[in-house]
Structure 1
Amino acid sequence: MNSHPLVNVKVKTLEHFKGELPIYHSLLASGLDVRAQISQALLVAPLDRVLVSTALCFEIPSAYEIQVRSRSGWAYKKGISVLNSPGTIDADYRGELKIILVNLSNQEVSISPQDRIAQLILAPVVQINWKMDTNLSATQRGEKGFGSTGLSHD
């Protein structure tokens, strides 16, 4: 039995869609695997990127987004990653989800029709209400950035 709350998301498949809708592959998985909806294999050269069709369009409820993330197995075994990870599908976008994949390996990689190419995560969205102020509260870290919290091993 699934213990996660379920949120209804409308999905429309385009004419070239084949197979099944994205599914969870384990009971407590947070990501749904989405497949490449392509007619023939794509060869991705080292450090090259491709835009891959999913043939899916969504109507996401307000106060949510769908995040597009890399699949760990593909990242580790093939060097394939979602370039703008996490990608964001806003609730008001109605076009096709296309995924930008990049080959970070030193070898050409083939993406075949129906390969599971990314994960989709439904996530809540909280919007910012800016409050202008000339004074920010003090912290121990202050304005230190770019590795300042790491330990020196000199």
Structure 2
Amino acid sequence: MRGQDRSRLIARHRLPIVAAAATLLLATAALAQMGPEELVGPTPPSEPSAAEPLPRWVTDDVRKMRAYPEQPPVIPHSIEGYQLTVNANRCMTCHKREFTQASGAPMISVTHYMDREGQMLADVSPRRYFCTECHVPQADVQPLVGNTFVDMSDLGVGKAGDE
């Protein structure tokens, strides 16, 4: 009896392995049938090709509407040539709390002055110091991926308390 149970157990474990091997074999055969253009594009990788020009940044200084709550605001001005290193952050010369009145720039969020535990710090948190990890300048280009997002207010959902 014990031998029969063991053979069933081994047979049960072989099925997924055989299925995975068959899938791998079919995928390899499909890749082998593709032509070289389908894998690397029209220009062979060893030949130089001209890069597309970089798009111009939107630099109108107009604040953009955010698409969703908690979205980091986009940068509405040029940051070309800004230094963002461990020792220097040009963004802070205008957006740091003590400089906003003179510069007229919006102050960075108070969350940037908090550590991971929510404790307030005297200076910007090291994890929030590199602005371009979350904030990006905008270019007037077509999106790479289509978007069908619809805001709740456009769906006709009423506000709390509306009858």
Which bin holds the TM-score, normalised by the shorter protein? Answer: under 0.3
Higher relative contact order (CA 8 A, sep 6+): 1
Tell me the TM-score normalised to structure 2 length.
Answer: 0.23
Greater share of helix: 2
Greater share of strand: 1
Q: Which has the larger radius of gyration?
A: 2
Tell me the TM-score normalised to structure 1 length.
Answer: 0.24
